[in-house]
Chains A and B, each alone.
Chain A
Protein backbone atom coordinates (compact mmCIF):
# COMPACT_ATOMS: atom_id res chain seq x y z
CA UNK A 1 0.00 0.00 0.00
CA UNK A 2 1.64 3.26 -1.06
CA UNK A 3 1.70 6.23 1.31
CA UNK A 4 -1.21 8.63 0.99
CA UNK A 5 -0.41 12.33 0.81
CA UNK A 6 -3.21 14.65 1.74
CA UNK A 7 -3.10 18.22 0.43
CA UNK A 8 -4.58 21.01 2.43
CA UNK A 9 -5.13 24.68 1.80
CA UNK A 10 -2.83 27.11 3.55
CA UNK A 11 -3.44 30.86 3.47
CA UNK A 12 0.09 32.05 2.66
CA UNK A 13 -0.04 35.47 1.01
CA UNK A 14 -2.23 37.99 2.79
CA UNK A 15 -3.99 40.71 0.83
CA UNK A 16 -1.35 43.40 1.58
CA UNK A 17 1.37 41.07 0.27
CA UNK A 18 -0.58 40.36 -2.91
CA UNK A 19 -1.39 44.01 -3.51
CA UNK A 20 2.26 44.89 -2.90
CA UNK A 21 3.39 42.17 -5.31
CA UNK A 22 1.22 43.25 -8.23
CA UNK A 23 1.74 46.95 -7.67
CA UNK A 24 5.46 46.27 -7.55
CA UNK A 25 5.28 44.21 -10.74
CA UNK A 26 3.35 46.99 -12.48
CA UNK A 27 5.84 49.60 -11.29
CA UNK A 28 8.82 47.54 -12.43
CA UNK A 29 7.36 47.00 -15.90
CA UNK A 30 6.47 50.68 -16.31
CA UNK A 31 9.76 51.90 -14.85
CA UNK A 32 11.81 49.57 -17.07
CA UNK A 33 9.92 50.53 -20.23
CA UNK A 34 9.94 54.28 -19.54
CA UNK A 35 13.48 54.10 -18.17
CA UNK A 36 14.74 52.39 -21.29
CA UNK A 37 12.96 54.97 -23.44
CA UNK A 38 14.55 57.78 -21.46
CA UNK A 39 17.95 56.23 -22.09
CA UNK A 40 17.33 55.53 -25.77
CA UNK A 41 14.38 57.58 -26.98
CA UNK A 42 12.71 56.87 -30.28
CA UNK A 43 13.65 59.69 -32.64
CA UNK A 44 10.65 61.00 -34.46
CA UNK A 45 11.12 62.75 -37.77
CA UNK A 46 8.55 65.47 -37.65
CA UNK A 47 8.15 68.88 -39.10
CA UNK A 48 6.27 70.30 -36.14
CA UNK A 49 7.55 72.79 -33.65
CA UNK A 50 8.62 71.61 -30.22
CA UNK A 51 5.80 73.52 -28.57
CA UNK A 52 3.23 71.17 -30.12
CA UNK A 53 4.52 68.03 -28.49
CA UNK A 54 5.52 66.82 -25.06
CA UNK A 55 5.77 63.05 -25.41
CA UNK A 56 9.25 62.68 -23.97
CA UNK A 57 8.30 64.92 -21.10
CA UNK A 58 5.31 62.65 -20.48
CA UNK A 59 7.46 59.51 -20.56
CA UNK A 60 9.72 61.07 -17.96
CA UNK A 61 6.75 62.21 -15.88
CA UNK A 62 5.36 58.66 -15.84
CA UNK A 63 8.77 57.37 -14.79
CA UNK A 64 8.97 59.84 -11.90
CA UNK A 65 5.38 59.20 -10.84
CA UNK A 66 5.82 55.43 -10.71
CA UNK A 67 9.16 55.86 -8.97
CA UNK A 68 7.24 57.35 -6.05
CA UNK A 69 4.66 54.55 -6.10
CA UNK A 70 7.45 51.96 -6.31
CA UNK A 71 9.40 53.43 -3.42
CA UNK A 72 6.51 53.83 -1.01
CA UNK A 73 5.15 50.43 -1.95
CA UNK A 74 8.58 49.02 -1.09
CA UNK A 75 8.61 50.86 2.25
CA UNK A 76 5.19 49.38 2.96
CA UNK A 77 6.52 45.88 2.23
CA UNK A 78 9.39 46.44 4.67
CA UNK A 79 6.83 47.40 7.31
CA UNK A 80 4.78 44.31 6.49
CA UNK A 81 7.89 42.23 7.15
CA UNK A 82 7.14 42.92 10.81
CA UNK A 83 3.38 43.31 10.75
CA UNK A 84 2.49 40.45 8.41
CA UNK A 85 2.15 36.73 8.92
CA UNK A 86 5.01 34.24 9.26
CA UNK A 87 5.37 33.88 5.49
CA UNK A 88 5.76 37.63 5.04
CA UNK A 89 8.20 37.99 7.93
CA UNK A 90 11.58 39.63 7.39
CA UNK A 91 13.13 36.46 8.85
CA UNK A 92 12.48 34.66 5.56
CA UNK A 93 14.82 36.95 3.68
CA UNK A 94 18.03 36.57 5.64
CA UNK A 95 19.32 33.03 6.22
CA UNK A 96 20.69 33.43 9.71
CA UNK A 97 19.45 30.08 10.97
CA UNK A 98 21.06 26.71 10.32
CA UNK A 99 17.80 25.29 9.02
CA UNK A 100 17.69 27.95 6.30
CA UNK A 101 21.21 27.14 5.13
CA UNK A 102 20.31 23.46 4.98
CA UNK A 103 17.34 24.38 2.87
CA UNK A 104 19.55 26.49 0.58
CA UNK A 105 21.63 23.37 -0.04
CA UNK A 106 18.54 21.24 -0.59
CA UNK A 107 16.96 23.72 -3.05
CA UNK A 108 20.20 23.89 -5.04
CA UNK A 109 20.31 20.07 -5.21
CA UNK A 110 16.62 19.55 -6.00
CA UNK A 111 15.58 22.53 -8.11
CA UNK A 112 18.74 23.91 -9.68
CA UNK A 113 21.10 20.97 -10.21
CA UNK A 114 18.21 18.47 -10.14
CA UNK A 115 20.31 15.69 -8.66
CA UNK A 116 17.80 14.96 -5.93
CA UNK A 117 14.03 14.53 -5.73
CA UNK A 118 13.47 15.09 -2.03
CA UNK A 119 10.49 17.38 -1.41
CA UNK A 120 11.20 20.91 -0.17
CA UNK A 121 9.00 21.47 2.83
CA UNK A 122 8.76 25.26 2.88
CA UNK A 123 5.34 26.76 2.45
CA UNK A 124 6.20 30.41 1.78
CA UNK A 125 9.44 31.50 0.19
CA UNK A 126 12.07 28.80 0.13
CA UNK A 127 15.45 29.80 1.58
CA UNK A 128 17.05 30.50 -1.80
CA UNK A 129 14.10 32.56 -3.00
CA UNK A 130 13.99 34.50 0.25
CA UNK A 131 17.69 35.29 0.10
CA UNK A 132 17.36 36.32 -3.54
CA UNK A 133 14.56 38.72 -2.57
CA UNK A 134 16.88 40.17 0.04
CA UNK A 135 19.20 41.15 -2.79
CA UNK A 136 16.34 42.50 -4.84
CA UNK A 137 15.42 44.68 -1.88
CA UNK A 138 18.97 46.02 -1.91
CA UNK A 139 18.58 46.67 -5.64
CA UNK A 140 15.23 48.44 -4.97
CA UNK A 141 16.99 50.64 -2.48
CA UNK A 142 19.87 51.35 -4.84
CA UNK A 143 17.49 52.27 -7.68
CA UNK A 144 15.45 54.50 -5.39
CA UNK A 145 18.50 56.31 -4.04
CA UNK A 146 20.19 56.82 -7.41
CA UNK A 147 16.90 57.67 -9.12
CA UNK A 148 15.77 60.26 -6.59
CA UNK A 149 19.37 61.50 -6.38
CA UNK A 150 19.26 62.30 -10.09
CA UNK A 151 15.76 63.70 -9.77
CA UNK A 152 16.77 66.01 -6.91
CA UNK A 153 18.50 68.44 -9.27
CA UNK A 154 15.27 69.13 -11.11
CA UNK A 155 12.92 69.14 -8.19
CA UNK A 156 12.18 71.77 -5.60
CA UNK A 157 10.42 69.22 -3.41
CA UNK A 158 12.08 68.26 -0.14
CA UNK A 159 11.71 64.54 -0.65
CA UNK A 160 14.17 63.93 -3.52
CA UNK A 161 16.66 66.20 -1.75
CA UNK A 162 16.96 63.47 0.89
CA UNK A 163 18.82 61.45 -1.74
CA UNK A 164 21.00 64.22 -3.21
CA UNK A 165 24.04 63.00 -1.25
CA UNK A 166 24.51 60.07 -3.61
CA UNK A 167 25.67 62.35 -6.45
CA UNK A 168 28.86 63.66 -4.84
CA UNK A 169 29.45 60.21 -3.34
CA UNK A 170 29.48 58.60 -6.78
CA UNK A 171 31.40 61.46 -8.37
CA UNK A 172 28.67 63.13 -10.40
CA UNK A 173 25.41 62.67 -12.26
CA UNK A 174 27.07 60.75 -15.06
CA UNK A 175 28.08 57.73 -13.02
CA UNK A 176 24.88 57.81 -10.96
CA UNK A 177 22.91 57.71 -14.20
CA UNK A 178 25.13 54.95 -15.59
CA UNK A 179 24.62 52.69 -12.57
CA UNK A 180 20.93 53.49 -12.40
CA UNK A 181 20.78 52.25 -15.98
CA UNK A 182 22.86 49.12 -15.29
CA UNK A 183 20.54 48.15 -12.45
CA UNK A 184 17.56 48.34 -14.80
CA UNK A 185 19.03 45.22 -16.39
CA UNK A 186 19.11 43.52 -13.03
CA UNK A 187 15.34 44.03 -12.82
CA UNK A 188 14.81 42.69 -16.34
CA UNK A 189 16.93 39.58 -15.72
CA UNK A 190 15.31 39.02 -12.35
CA UNK A 191 11.83 39.22 -13.85
CA UNK A 192 12.64 36.63 -16.52
CA UNK A 193 14.01 34.15 -13.99
CA UNK A 194 11.27 34.90 -11.46
CA UNK A 195 8.41 34.25 -13.89
CA UNK A 196 10.06 31.07 -15.14
CA UNK A 197 10.60 29.72 -11.64
CA UNK A 198 7.00 30.35 -10.64
CA UNK A 199 5.90 28.21 -13.57
CA UNK A 200 8.56 25.62 -12.75
CA UNK A 201 7.47 25.24 -9.13
CA UNK A 202 3.83 25.03 -10.03
CA UNK A 203 4.61 22.42 -12.69
CA UNK A 204 6.82 20.24 -10.53
CA UNK A 205 5.26 20.64 -7.09
CA UNK A 206 1.63 21.24 -7.99
CA UNK A 207 1.05 23.45 -4.97
CA UNK A 208 -0.66 26.24 -6.90
CA UNK A 209 2.34 28.54 -6.94
CA UNK A 210 0.99 30.73 -9.74
CA UNK A 211 -2.52 31.19 -8.43
CA UNK A 212 -1.30 31.72 -4.88
CA UNK A 213 -0.40 35.33 -5.70
CA UNK A 214 -4.00 35.86 -6.76
CA UNK A 215 -5.89 33.92 -4.12
CA UNK A 216 -3.36 33.76 -1.33
CA UNK A 217 -3.84 29.99 -0.96
CA UNK A 218 -1.33 27.24 -1.56
CA UNK A 219 -1.92 23.50 -1.47
CA UNK A 220 0.53 21.88 0.87
CA UNK A 221 1.16 18.25 1.77
CA UNK A 222 -0.43 17.82 5.18
CA UNK A 223 2.53 16.04 6.71
CA UNK A 224 4.58 19.26 6.47
CA UNK A 225 1.96 21.33 8.12
CA UNK A 226 0.03 19.31 10.69
CA UNK A 227 -2.04 22.20 12.02
CA UNK A 228 -3.60 23.29 8.77
CA UNK A 229 -7.36 23.59 8.49
CA UNK A 230 -9.23 20.40 7.81
CA UNK A 231 -10.15 21.20 4.25
CA UNK A 232 -8.75 18.38 2.24
CA UNK A 233 -9.25 18.81 -1.46
CA UNK A 234 -7.13 16.11 -2.99
CA UNK A 235 -5.05 13.17 -2.09
CA UNK A 236 -2.38 11.28 -3.89
CA UNK A 237 -0.86 7.89 -3.23
CA UNK A 238 2.84 7.33 -3.36
Chain B
Protein backbone atom coordinates (compact mmCIF):
# COMPACT_ATOMS: atom_id res chain seq x y z
CA UNK B 1 0.00 0.00 0.00
CA UNK B 2 1.40 3.36 -0.93
CA UNK B 3 0.15 4.90 2.32
CA UNK B 4 2.62 2.82 4.37
CA UNK B 5 5.53 4.64 2.83
CA UNK B 6 4.29 7.92 4.24
CA UNK B 7 5.16 8.85 7.84
CA UNK B 8 2.43 8.19 10.37
CA UNK B 9 0.90 11.00 12.39
CA UNK B 10 3.06 10.06 15.38
CA UNK B 11 6.20 10.02 13.22
CA UNK B 12 5.23 13.36 11.76
CA UNK B 13 4.71 14.76 15.24
CA UNK B 14 8.13 13.49 16.34
CA UNK B 15 9.69 15.27 13.36
CA UNK B 16 8.08 18.43 14.62
CA UNK B 17 9.53 17.93 18.06
CA UNK B 18 6.32 16.90 19.83
CA UNK B 19 7.06 14.93 23.00
CA UNK B 20 5.39 11.59 23.75
CA UNK B 21 3.64 13.24 26.70
CA UNK B 22 2.17 15.99 24.51
CA UNK B 23 1.19 13.45 21.89
CA UNK B 24 -0.69 11.34 24.44
CA UNK B 25 -2.33 14.45 25.84
CA UNK B 26 -3.50 15.29 22.34
CA UNK B 27 -4.89 11.77 21.93
CA UNK B 28 -6.79 12.14 25.20
CA UNK B 29 -8.21 15.46 24.01
CA UNK B 30 -9.38 13.91 20.78
CA UNK B 31 -11.04 11.06 22.64
CA UNK B 32 -12.88 13.52 24.84
CA UNK B 33 -13.89 15.58 21.81
CA UNK B 34 -15.45 12.50 20.21
CA UNK B 35 -17.37 11.85 23.38
CA UNK B 36 -15.69 8.50 23.90
CA UNK B 37 -14.92 6.89 27.27
CA UNK B 38 -11.45 6.89 28.82
CA UNK B 39 -10.75 3.36 27.64
CA UNK B 40 -10.83 4.56 24.05
CA UNK B 41 -7.73 6.71 24.49
CA UNK B 42 -5.63 3.67 23.63
CA UNK B 43 -7.61 3.10 20.47
CA UNK B 44 -7.22 6.71 19.37
CA UNK B 45 -3.52 6.65 20.22
CA UNK B 46 -3.04 3.49 18.21
CA UNK B 47 -4.82 5.01 15.24
CA UNK B 48 -2.62 8.10 15.28
CA UNK B 49 0.52 5.99 15.71
CA UNK B 50 -0.18 3.81 12.74
CA UNK B 51 -2.02 6.04 10.29
CA UNK B 52 -0.36 8.46 7.93
CA UNK B 53 -1.66 11.99 7.73
CA UNK B 54 -4.74 12.01 5.57
CA UNK B 55 -4.45 14.23 2.50
CA UNK B 56 -7.13 16.87 2.54
CA UNK B 57 -8.47 19.12 -0.20
CA UNK B 58 -10.49 22.01 1.14
CA UNK B 59 -12.52 23.82 -1.50
CA UNK B 60 -14.03 27.25 -1.23
CA UNK B 61 -16.99 27.91 -3.49
CA UNK B 62 -19.93 30.27 -2.87
CA UNK B 63 -19.19 31.15 0.73
CA UNK B 64 -18.00 33.87 3.07
CA UNK B 65 -15.16 31.86 4.67
CA UNK B 66 -16.89 32.00 8.06
CA UNK B 67 -16.50 28.24 8.28
CA UNK B 68 -12.74 28.57 7.92
CA UNK B 69 -12.75 31.44 10.38
CA UNK B 70 -14.63 29.30 12.86
CA UNK B 71 -12.40 26.29 12.24
CA UNK B 72 -9.14 28.10 12.94
CA UNK B 73 -10.60 29.26 16.23
CA UNK B 74 -11.03 25.72 17.44
CA UNK B 75 -9.94 26.52 20.93
CA UNK B 76 -9.60 23.49 23.09
CA UNK B 77 -5.90 23.73 23.82
CA UNK B 78 -3.93 23.04 20.72
CA UNK B 79 -6.78 21.37 18.86
CA UNK B 80 -6.41 23.53 15.78
CA UNK B 81 -2.68 22.82 15.68
CA UNK B 82 -3.24 19.16 16.27
CA UNK B 83 -5.73 18.96 13.48
CA UNK B 84 -3.56 20.91 11.11
CA UNK B 85 -0.69 18.60 11.97
CA UNK B 86 -2.72 15.46 11.75
CA UNK B 87 -4.04 16.16 8.31
CA UNK B 88 -2.06 17.10 5.28
CA UNK B 89 -3.90 20.12 4.01
CA UNK B 90 -2.74 19.98 0.43
CA UNK B 91 -5.05 22.54 -1.06
CA UNK B 92 -7.16 25.31 0.35
CA UNK B 93 -7.60 28.64 -1.37
CA UNK B 94 -7.63 30.80 1.73
CA UNK B 95 -4.84 29.32 3.85
CA UNK B 96 -2.23 27.95 1.47
CA UNK B 97 0.92 29.85 0.62
CA UNK B 98 0.97 28.67 -2.97
CA UNK B 99 -0.98 30.42 -5.67
CA UNK B 100 -1.59 30.18 -9.39
CA UNK B 101 0.07 27.25 -11.12
CA UNK B 102 1.72 25.94 -7.95
CA UNK B 103 -1.66 25.72 -6.24
CA UNK B 104 -3.27 24.02 -9.22
CA UNK B 105 -0.37 21.56 -9.36
CA UNK B 106 -0.74 20.74 -5.67
CA UNK B 107 -4.41 20.03 -6.24
CA UNK B 108 -3.72 17.91 -9.28
CA UNK B 109 -0.92 15.99 -7.58
CA UNK B 110 -3.06 15.05 -4.60
CA UNK B 111 -5.96 14.00 -6.79
CA UNK B 112 -3.81 11.68 -8.87
CA UNK B 113 -1.37 10.44 -6.22
CA UNK B 114 -3.93 9.75 -3.49
CA UNK B 115 -6.91 8.80 -5.59
CA UNK B 116 -9.54 7.22 -3.36
CA UNK B 117 -7.66 8.21 -0.20
CA UNK B 118 -8.01 11.94 0.19
CA UNK B 119 -10.67 13.73 2.11
CA UNK B 120 -12.64 16.41 0.31
CA UNK B 121 -13.94 19.32 2.34
CA UNK B 122 -16.33 21.71 0.66
CA UNK B 123 -17.14 25.13 1.99
CA UNK B 124 -19.86 26.94 0.09
CA UNK B 125 -22.61 26.07 -2.33
CA UNK B 126 -22.23 25.53 -6.04
CA UNK B 127 -24.00 27.80 -8.52
CA UNK B 128 -25.63 26.03 -11.43
CA UNK B 129 -27.26 29.06 -13.07
CA UNK B 130 -25.76 30.38 -16.35
CA UNK B 131 -23.62 27.24 -16.66
CA UNK B 132 -22.00 27.93 -13.31
CA UNK B 133 -20.14 31.12 -14.27
CA UNK B 134 -21.00 32.73 -10.93
CA UNK B 135 -18.17 30.82 -9.26
CA UNK B 136 -15.05 30.02 -11.26
CA UNK B 137 -11.61 29.17 -9.93
CA UNK B 138 -8.61 28.89 -12.24
CA UNK B 139 -10.95 29.26 -15.20
CA UNK B 140 -13.11 26.29 -14.22
CA UNK B 141 -16.56 26.29 -12.72
CA UNK B 142 -17.13 25.17 -9.13
CA UNK B 143 -19.29 22.29 -10.36
CA UNK B 144 -16.57 21.10 -12.71
CA UNK B 145 -13.92 21.18 -9.98
CA UNK B 146 -16.17 19.54 -7.40
CA UNK B 147 -17.14 16.71 -9.76
CA UNK B 148 -13.53 15.94 -10.59
CA UNK B 149 -12.37 16.05 -6.99
CA UNK B 150 -15.33 14.05 -5.66
CA UNK B 151 -14.67 11.25 -8.15
CA UNK B 152 -11.47 10.30 -6.30
CA UNK B 153 -12.41 11.33 -2.77
CA UNK B 154 -12.71 8.89 0.09
CA UNK B 155 -15.38 11.01 1.74
CA UNK B 156 -16.82 14.46 1.36
CA UNK B 157 -17.56 16.82 4.21
CA UNK B 158 -20.02 19.61 3.45
CA UNK B 159 -18.85 22.44 5.70
CA UNK B 160 -21.45 24.83 6.91
CA UNK B 161 -24.96 25.64 5.80
CA UNK B 162 -23.87 26.73 2.28
CA UNK B 163 -22.57 23.32 1.34
CA UNK B 164 -25.17 21.45 3.42
CA UNK B 165 -28.35 23.25 2.45
CA UNK B 166 -27.55 26.34 0.40
CA UNK B 167 -27.75 29.05 3.06
CA UNK B 168 -28.26 32.69 2.08
CA UNK B 169 -27.34 32.48 -1.58
CA UNK B 170 -29.84 29.67 -1.95
CA UNK B 171 -32.61 31.79 -0.37
CA UNK B 172 -35.37 33.10 -2.61
CA UNK B 173 -35.03 34.15 -5.38
CA UNK B 174 -31.67 32.36 -5.59
CA UNK B 175 -30.40 34.22 -8.69
CA UNK B 176 -27.28 32.08 -9.15
CA UNK B 177 -29.15 28.78 -8.56
CA UNK B 178 -26.87 28.08 -5.62
CA UNK B 179 -27.13 24.37 -4.85
CA UNK B 180 -25.98 22.34 -1.84
CA UNK B 181 -23.33 19.79 -2.64
CA UNK B 182 -25.38 16.63 -1.99
CA UNK B 183 -27.79 17.56 -4.78
CA UNK B 184 -24.96 17.62 -7.32
CA UNK B 185 -22.50 14.96 -6.22
CA UNK B 186 -23.21 11.28 -5.75
CA UNK B 187 -21.18 8.13 -5.35
CA UNK B 188 -19.14 9.38 -2.39
CA UNK B 189 -20.19 9.43 1.27
CA UNK B 190 -21.25 12.96 2.21
CA UNK B 191 -21.25 14.21 5.79
CA UNK B 192 -23.09 17.45 6.41
CA UNK B 193 -21.81 19.77 9.08
CA UNK B 194 -24.33 22.61 8.86
CA UNK B 195 -24.24 25.89 10.71
CA UNK B 196 -23.41 29.42 9.72
CA UNK B 197 -20.68 28.76 10.64
CA UNK B 198 -20.51 25.35 12.33
CA UNK B 199 -19.00 25.28 15.81
CA UNK B 200 -15.22 24.93 15.56
CA UNK B 201 -15.08 21.87 17.79
CA UNK B 202 -17.85 20.22 15.80
CA UNK B 203 -15.75 20.67 12.66
CA UNK B 204 -12.58 19.34 14.24
CA UNK B 205 -14.55 16.57 15.92
CA UNK B 206 -15.91 15.38 12.59
CA UNK B 207 -12.44 15.30 11.07
CA UNK B 208 -10.98 13.54 14.10
CA UNK B 209 -13.66 10.89 13.79
CA UNK B 210 -12.85 10.29 10.14
CA UNK B 211 -9.18 10.17 11.00
CA UNK B 212 -9.41 7.89 14.01
CA UNK B 213 -11.93 5.37 12.83
CA UNK B 214 -11.29 5.58 9.12
CA UNK B 215 -15.02 5.68 8.43
CA UNK B 216 -17.75 8.27 8.42
CA UNK B 217 -19.44 9.01 11.72
CA UNK B 218 -23.01 7.89 12.43
CA UNK B 219 -25.33 10.37 10.73
CA UNK B 220 -28.99 11.25 11.20
CA UNK B 221 -31.77 11.34 8.60
CA UNK B 222 -30.39 14.55 7.14
CA UNK B 223 -26.79 13.28 6.94
CA UNK B 224 -25.44 15.15 9.98
CA UNK B 225 -23.11 13.49 12.53
CA UNK B 226 -25.31 12.25 15.35
CA UNK B 227 -22.65 13.06 17.90
CA UNK B 228 -23.21 16.77 17.36
CA UNK B 229 -26.64 17.12 15.73
CA UNK B 230 -28.86 14.59 17.46
CA UNK B 231 -30.26 17.06 19.98
CA UNK B 232 -32.04 20.31 19.57
CA UNK B 233 -30.54 23.53 20.88
CA UNK B 234 -33.74 23.64 22.93
CA UNK B 235 -33.00 20.32 24.65
CA UNK B 236 -29.64 21.48 25.94
CA UNK B 237 -30.54 25.12 26.54
CA UNK B 238 -29.89 26.37 30.07
CA UNK B 239 -33.09 28.49 29.77
CA UNK B 240 -35.21 25.38 29.12
CA UNK B 241 -36.70 25.28 32.66
CA UNK B 242 -38.24 28.69 31.95
CA UNK B 243 -39.89 27.27 28.84
CA UNK B 244 -41.44 24.41 30.77
CA UNK B 245 -42.55 26.81 33.48
CA UNK B 246 -44.17 29.06 30.88
CA UNK B 247 -41.87 31.98 31.69
CA UNK B 248 -41.25 33.86 28.47
CA UNK B 249 -39.60 37.07 27.36
CA UNK B 250 -42.20 39.31 25.71
CA UNK B 251 -39.92 41.99 24.37
CA UNK B 252 -36.19 42.44 24.43
CA UNK B 253 -36.19 45.12 27.10
CA UNK B 254 -38.82 43.80 29.49
CA UNK B 255 -38.37 42.55 33.02
CA UNK B 256 -38.55 38.93 31.85
CA UNK B 257 -35.64 39.50 29.48
CA UNK B 258 -33.58 40.78 32.39
CA UNK B 259 -34.48 37.69 34.37
CA UNK B 260 -33.22 35.52 31.55
CA UNK B 261 -36.52 33.83 30.75
CA UNK B 262 -37.08 31.70 27.66
CA UNK B 263 -36.82 33.50 24.30
CA UNK B 264 -39.42 31.26 22.62
CA UNK B 265 -41.85 34.12 22.01
CA UNK B 266 -39.05 36.21 20.55
CA UNK B 267 -38.86 33.74 17.69
CA UNK B 268 -36.10 31.56 19.11
CA UNK B 269 -35.51 28.63 16.75
CA UNK B 270 -33.99 26.47 19.46
CA UNK B 271 -36.96 24.06 19.46
CA UNK B 272 -36.52 23.27 15.76
CA UNK B 273 -32.74 23.48 15.45
CA UNK B 274 -30.38 20.56 15.81
CA UNK B 275 -26.94 21.67 16.95
CA UNK B 276 -24.53 21.56 19.89
CA UNK B 277 -24.56 25.27 20.75
CA UNK B 278 -26.11 24.65 24.16
CA UNK B 279 -23.42 22.12 25.09
CA UNK B 280 -20.18 23.12 23.38
CA UNK B 281 -20.98 26.83 23.03
CA UNK B 282 -18.74 29.14 21.06
CA UNK B 283 -15.27 30.61 21.32
CA UNK B 284 -13.94 28.04 23.67
CA UNK B 285 -17.18 27.52 25.52
CA UNK B 286 -17.61 31.21 26.29
CA UNK B 287 -21.22 31.74 25.24
CA UNK B 288 -23.85 31.10 22.58
CA UNK B 289 -26.61 33.32 21.17
CA UNK B 290 -29.28 32.46 23.76
CA UNK B 291 -26.83 33.02 26.61
CA UNK B 292 -26.22 36.47 25.13
CA UNK B 293 -29.95 37.23 25.24
CA UNK B 294 -30.82 36.65 21.59
CA UNK B 295 -32.90 33.80 20.24
CA UNK B 296 -31.42 31.10 18.05
CA UNK B 297 -31.95 31.89 14.36
CA UNK B 298 -31.67 28.25 13.36
CA UNK B 299 -28.58 28.77 11.20
CA UNK B 300 -27.87 25.06 10.94
CA UNK B 301 -31.34 24.23 9.57
CA UNK B 302 -32.25 24.23 5.91
CA UNK B 303 -34.05 27.27 4.48
CA UNK B 304 -33.51 29.33 7.61
CA UNK B 305 -33.25 32.55 5.62
CA UNK B 306 -36.62 31.99 3.98
CA UNK B 307 -38.33 31.01 7.23
CA UNK B 308 -38.28 34.57 8.52
CA UNK B 309 -38.74 36.87 10.22
CA UNK B 310 -36.25 35.75 12.85
CA UNK B 311 -38.18 37.43 15.66
CA UNK B 312 -41.51 35.70 15.00
CA UNK B 313 -42.10 32.13 15.85
CA UNK B 314 -44.41 31.55 12.92
CA UNK B 315 -42.93 32.30 9.53
CA UNK B 316 -44.64 34.41 6.93
CA UNK B 317 -47.10 32.33 4.99
CA UNK B 318 -45.90 32.08 1.39
CA UNK B 319 -47.94 33.95 -1.18
CA UNK B 320 -49.77 36.29 1.21
CA UNK B 321 -47.40 39.19 1.53
CA UNK B 322 -45.03 40.25 4.27
CA UNK B 323 -46.03 39.73 7.92
CA UNK B 324 -48.85 37.31 7.21
CA UNK B 325 -48.62 34.22 9.35
CA UNK B 326 -50.71 31.07 9.21
CA UNK B 327 -52.61 32.43 12.22
CA UNK B 328 -53.53 35.69 10.49
CA UNK B 329 -54.67 33.70 7.51
CA UNK B 330 -56.55 31.18 9.65
CA UNK B 331 -58.41 33.92 11.51
CA UNK B 332 -59.43 35.56 8.26
CA UNK B 333 -60.58 32.24 6.84
CA UNK B 334 -62.48 31.58 10.07
CA UNK B 335 -64.23 34.96 9.80
CA UNK B 336 -65.00 34.29 6.14
CA UNK B 337 -66.43 30.90 7.09
CA UNK B 338 -68.68 32.47 9.71
CA UNK B 339 -69.87 35.05 7.18
CA UNK B 340 -70.51 32.25 4.67
CA UNK B 341 -72.44 30.28 7.26
CA UNK B 342 -74.51 33.33 8.17
CA UNK B 343 -75.32 33.94 4.52
CA UNK B 344 -76.21 30.30 4.07
CA UNK B 345 -78.46 30.31 7.12
CA UNK B 346 -80.31 33.38 5.83
CA UNK B 347 -80.55 31.84 2.39
CA UNK B 348 -81.91 28.63 3.92
CA UNK B 349 -84.75 30.51 5.60
CA UNK B 350 -85.64 32.25 2.35
CA UNK B 351 -85.13 29.47 -0.18
CA UNK B 352 -86.54 26.69 1.99
CA UNK B 353 -89.23 28.83 3.53
CA UNK B 354 -92.10 27.29 1.60
CA UNK B 355 -90.85 23.76 2.19
CA UNK B 356 -90.38 24.26 5.92
CA UNK B 357 -93.74 26.00 6.28
CA UNK B 358 -95.50 23.23 4.42
CA UNK B 359 -93.82 20.56 6.56
CA UNK B 360 -94.79 22.30 9.77
CA UNK B 361 -98.37 22.87 8.76
CA UNK B 362 -98.99 19.39 7.47
CA UNK B 363 -97.24 17.38 10.16
CA UNK B 364 -99.57 15.48 12.39
CA UNK B 365 -99.43 12.74 14.94
CA UNK B 366 -101.33 9.61 14.09
CA UNK B 367 -103.07 8.24 17.14
CA UNK B 368 -105.80 5.62 17.18
CA UNK B 369 -106.40 6.23 13.53
CA UNK B 370 -107.21 9.87 14.23
CA UNK B 371 -104.91 12.64 13.12
CA UNK B 372 -104.16 15.65 15.26
CA UNK B 373 -103.16 18.84 13.54
CA UNK B 374 -99.51 19.62 14.23
CA UNK B 375 -97.51 22.76 13.96
CA UNK B 376 -98.03 23.83 17.53
Contact = CB atoms under 8 A, between A and B. Distances in A.
Nearest to B351: A114
A211 interface: no
B266 to A, nearest CB: 10
Interface in A80-133: 112, 114, 117
A134 B265 CA distance: 36
B341 A45 contact: no
A40 B313 contact: yes
B334 A192 contact: yes
Interface in B304-348: 304, 307, 313-315, 317, 326-327, 329-330, 333-334, 337-338, 341, 344-345, 347-348
A79 B234 CA distance: 38
Contact of A39 (B221, B274, B314): B314
Given A192-B338, A234-B363, A173 B273 contact: yes
B241 interface: yes
Nearest to A36: B327
A189 B248 contact: no
A140 B349 CA distance: 34
Given A52-B245, A114-B352, A192-B341, A167 B221 contact: yes
B269 interface: yes
A140 B302 CA distance: 26
Nearest to B194: A172
Contact of B315 (A57, A114, A153, A178): A178
Interface residues of B, number: 62
Contacts of B333: 185, 189
Interface stretch (A11-19, A196-204, A223-231): A196-204
Contacts of A41: 246, 248, 264-265
A204 B356 contact: yes
Interface in A45-75: 45-46, 50-57, 59
Contact of A193 (B244, B249, B341, B345): B341
21 contacts: A39-B314, A39-B327, A43-B249, A43-B265, A50-B261, A51-B241, A53-B246, A57-B245, A153-B274, A164-B221, A173-B301, A174-B302, A177-B272, A182-B330, A185-B333, A192-B337, A196-B345, A200-B348, A235-B364, A235-B366, A236-B362
Interface of B: 220-222, 231-232, 235, 241-250, 255-256, 261, 264-265, 269, 271-274, 298, 301-304, 307, 313-315, 317, 326-327, 329-330, 333-334, 337-338, 341, 344-345, 347-348, 351-352, 355-356, 358-359, 362-366, 371, 374
Interface of A: 2, 39-46, 50-57, 59, 112, 114, 117, 153-154, 164-165, 167-168, 171-175, 177-178, 181-182, 184-185, 188-189, 192-193, 196, 200, 203-204, 206, 232, 234-238
